[in-house]
Structure 1
Amino acid sequence: MFKFREYGKIIDGSYQGDLMRKPAVADRFYPGSPDELKKTISNLLKGAERNRKKAFAAVSPHAGYIYSGELAAETLGSIVIPETAIMIGPNHRGAGAPAALSTCPWELPSGVVPINEKLAQDILHYSSNITCDERAHKLEHSIEVQIPFLQYQQKDLSIVPLIVSHISYPLCIEIAEALVDAIKAFKKEVLIVASTDMSHYEPRHIATEKDAQALQHIKNINPEKLYFTVFDHKISMCGVIPVTITLIAAKMMGASTCELIGYTDSGYASGDIEQVVGYAGLTIS
């Protein structure tokens, strides 16, 4: 059980040990049947690199698997998945705290994933701006769709899920610093996964052009330029905050290389190239 009281993080009473975060988008974004999901993930990961590399972080898309599952698999299948992952996603619905940590186990068709309690407590200890709040996670899909890819490759997976709203750049720095301090105190390998899609509902040629600007700053591991470019140029990249935090943290941990695994858009699955959603996969090492 979490001892949040010493950090002053209790929301609406104490943590309930029997609380379970239930799937929000099973049978919509991915198969809800355990067997079908396992088969789908296995097929998607077939093309993954055998010589997986170690990475500080990854940036992965979060649409339905029919649209971005192949790229998510290619991205997350190209790196070593350690036993612990911090997963950062955007808040699409606006519920809950601006920086909301989930503290209950996550149930998926592929099995229950526990929270890494030690790492979660340390993150809360190092940041007064991160709050235990399940409301932001209850219906949010951006982290949920990533987990089966990690589960399939790492049987002993534990996670720390963090949902963030649109916050200031200085607050991104503060949260990234807290994550790095917690990872250092944890003294074990931790992967950060930032969940994002790129431009939304633009003609393909415009989405590609806009996304190229954002991707250049990600590849350069330049979080500040990414943050302000996205807002100044009105690039509808829903996970700019998770990616900004991840880039800051990775840079603090010594990252020097970012590889673009791939870029695509929803039009290749839907046939509609007038209103596409862009998807990118990157690894940071």
Structure 2
Amino acid sequence: MRQTTVAGQFYPLNTKSLNKELSKCFKDAAASEKPILGAVVPHAGYIYSGEVAAHAFAQLPKADTYVLFGPNHTGYGSPVALSQDTWKTPLGVVETDKDIGKLLAGTIIDFDELAHHYEHSIEVQVPFLQYMFGSDFKILPICMGLQDEETAIEVGKEVAEAAKATGKKVVFIASSDFTHYQPDDVARENDNYLIEPILKMDIPEFYRRKDERNISACGFGPIAAMLSATMEFGASSVSLLKYATSGDVTGDMSGVVGYAAIVVE
């Protein structure tokens, strides 16, 4: 059982308090009937980025499995690590998808729980899914320490092929914050520059711009993996639903973190 690591820090540990916090996050988030295949969501504490994340989660369709690509902040475990453990949050237990998991044996993706043990980037997304869909879904958590362009594209393709082989309805979610600890105006300019190629589904240009300005988006590999996977499913358009920075919450514009809610259909 993969126990919570950041409950009580990034989001409330108490079930009632967590539901109340999530309800606040979703208060201005509109649902959609669009056939959403993927999303980019932030992974900071809910008070900072939860409202942005909810804008994307509110538009997700009901699916059999949500593939969660997250960056590895801790350095533990395999370079690309799949969890097949059961995950527990204050809202209950979620099973991982063993059918898709089995089909990933022998690929670039390793079966490794250690990479997930202390990592928050995927954990913070699970309560959003539970709030939206109860317990009637599975997750496929993939933690990426290796985030280069070639690896990310391959990870996305491998997971998409495995998902297709099962015939399940799958949605791909990339967990990433954008610019870290820059003045608000710099963060907004750089993040807008980096989001443009995401909206055009141009992975090489996305990497080029990230490197050109050394933009500190932590989940760039997960974003590229999600785009790669959704393109295998025929994705044709990407929309930015909401962008904000931590400065919008704290009032401190001197060093902010950027957050975006993006959906792919």
Question: TM-score category by the smaller chain?
Answer: over 0.9
Which residue of 2 is the match for residue 134 of structure 1?
113
Deviates more, 1:75-84 or 1:230-239: 75-84
Which residue of 2 is the match for residue 62 of structure 1?
43
1:250 paired with 2:234, answer no
SS in 2 for 1:89: strand
Query: Would you identify which runs of 4 or more consecutive aligned residues in structure 1 move more than 6 Å?
Result: none
Which residue of 1 is the match for residue 129 of structure 2?
150
- CA change 1:201–1:157 in 2 (3 A) is same
SS in 1 for 2:22: helix
Q: Pick the aligned partner of 2:162 from 164, 167, 182.
A: 182
- CA change 1:237–1:50 in 2 (3 A) is closer
Q: Pick the aligned partner of 1:218 from 187, 190, 198.
A: 198
**1:102-133 CA distance string (max 9 Å, x none):** 110011001011111101111235x2x11111
Aligned pairs for 1:262-273 within 5 A: 262-273=242-253
**1:163-205 CA distance string (max 9 Å, x none):** 0013332222221211111111010110011000000000011
- CA change 1:120–1:272 in 2 (3 A) is same
**1:52-111 CA distance string (max 9 Å, x none):** 422110100000001000011111112213131100000111111110111100110010
- CA change 1:51–1:283 in 2 (3 A) is closer
CA distance in 1, matches of 2:246, 2:115: 26
Which residue of 1 is the match for residue 146 of structure 2?
166
Which residue of 1 is the match for residue 10 of structure 2?
29
Q: How many residues align?
A: 264
CA distance in 1, matches of 2:232, 2:213: 27
SS in 1 for 2:197: helix
Q: For structure 2, which runs of at least 5 residues remain unmatched after alignment? A: none
SS in 1 for 2:20: helix
- CA change 1:229–1:166 in 2 (3 A) is farther
Q: For structure 1, which runs of at least 5 residues remain unmatched after alignment? A: 1-19
CA distance in 2, matches of 1:162, 1:200: 23
Which residue of 2 is the match for residue 7 of structure 1?
none
1:123 paired with 2:104, answer yes
Which residue of 2 is the match for residue 237 of structure 1?
217
CA distance in 2, matches of 1:97, 1:108: 24
Answer whether contact 1:83 1:154 (CA < 8 A) is retained: no
Across the aligned residues of Structure 1 and Structure 2, the Cα RMSD in angstroms comes to 1.2
Identity of aligned residues (%): 39
Deviates more, 1:163-172 or 1:99-108: 163-172
Q: CA deviation at 1:154?
A: 1.4
1:107 paired with 2:106, answer no
Answer whether contact 1:224 1:244 (CA < 8 A) is retained: no
Which residue of 1 is the match for residue 67 of structure 2?
86
SS in 2 for 1:185: helix
SS in 2 for 1:46: coil
Answer whether contact 1:90 1:242 (CA < 8 A) is retained: yes
Q: CA deviation at 1:50?
A: 3.8
Q: Pick the aligned partner of 1:98 from 79, 82, 104.
A: 79
CA distance in 2, matches of 1:46, 1:209: 28
Q: CA deviation at 1:228?
A: 2.4
Q: 1:255 is aligned with what amino acid?
A: A
Aligned pairs for 1:198-217 within 5 A: 198-217=178-197
Answer whether contact 2:36 2:59 (CA < 8 A) is retained: no
Answer whether contact 1:223 1:245 (CA < 8 A) is retained: no
